Structure 1
């Protein structure tokens, strides 16, 4: 265990006292990542709210924006880009369509299929929200140096690949 003085270190000391037979060192990383994820989510969601969006709404609009002009994708494709079930996606699309941020229409390529597209207003909202989101993420990393950010990103990418597998090179 490192010599840190935070809530995780306190928990580790308590467990080490109560269960000296167990190595609680993994809590140092996992516990801190878990707590940090909660704090980061709170900070990220605050930006989305300022733009009238929830976390899932931001994801959908961002996935459409990343598609490039004409900023559209099929609902199934959207679900894949946002890690949302198709049932949850339908509710989200209903809400965003009701807010005037996207439209749904029949696919020209496949009359049975549907296409979801950003409206002009949706494009304005996601562009503004994403710009603030990037500034916020930069602020959240502000206590780390450039080299530390680089190292942390590499470590997290390596670890994430254990769960999700490596992605093919672009």
Structure 2
């Protein structure tokens, strides 16, 4: 569970790294590290927490992401691999490998797209639907816990700033 921001030391690893660079290379503006370094660190921390959370369901977060996205799409709980790739923001190779694994686990099924003979549709199986129902609340609780150090209004501001960075950088 996250600590409140006021319980956190005055300096973090990004501050320390930036001070080191400033001392050694004062000619280089490393101010971007204040944001990028923290985002990269949080990505590791958040992914580890989400994988730990999902481990009690015998899946990893990436497996949950496929199943949860199909469930959130609504009936008939199916999407094309490209739609999944765009929603999950991962590479086509990454989504192909994930789909293969999640299909082997019995949570999804790939079938021919009736509207496009070359295309594929990924659909949630009954087991996948059951997993999504079992995991969605736990995942939401974990996500809320990870941002609990921020007040609700701070979370809104940060979400807006992060959205702007995502839109600006693809």
TM-score band, normalised by shorter chain: 0.7 to 0.9
Structure 1 unaligned residues grouped into runs of 5+: 165-170
1:68 and 2:105 are equivalent in the alignment: no
Residue of structure 2 equivalent to 1:167: none
Q: Does structure 2 conserve the Cα–Cα contact (< 8 Å) formed by 1:102 and 1:116?
A: yes
- Higher relative contact order (Cα pairs below 8 Å, separated by 6+ residues): 2
Structure 2 unaligned residues grouped into runs of 5+: 1-8
- Superposed CA offset, 1:29-71 (max 9, x none): 2222222221112112222222222233222212211221111
Residue of structure 2 equivalent to 1:105: 111
Q: Does structure 2 conserve the Cα–Cα contact (< 8 Å) formed by 1:47 and 1:129?
A: no
Q: How many matched pairs?
A: 162
Pick aligned residue for 1:127 from 133, 139, 147? 133
Residue of structure 2 equivalent to 1:48: 54
RMSD over aligned CA atoms reads: 2.3
1:8 and 2:3 are equivalent in the alignment: no
Q: Distance in 2 between matches of 1:57 and 1:134?
A: 15
Q: Which has the larger radius of gyration?
A: 1
What secondary structure sits across from 1:113 in the alignment?
strand
Change (3 A) 1:81 1:21: closer
Q: Distance in 2 between matches of 1:57 and 1:64?
A: 11
Pick aligned residue for 1:115 from 116, 121, 133? 121
Q: Does structure 2 conserve the Cα–Cα contact (< 8 Å) formed by 1:103 and 1:118?
A: yes
Residue of structure 2 equivalent to 1:156: 162
Task: Between 33-42 and 12-21, report the one with greater CA deviation.
Answer: 12-21
Query: TM-score by structure 2 length?
Result: 0.81
Q: Does structure 2 conserve the Cα–Cα contact (< 8 Å) formed by 1:8 and 1:27?
A: yes
Q: Distance in 2 between matches of 1:95 and 1:104?
A: 12
Give runs of ≥4 in structure 1 deviating > 4 Å: none
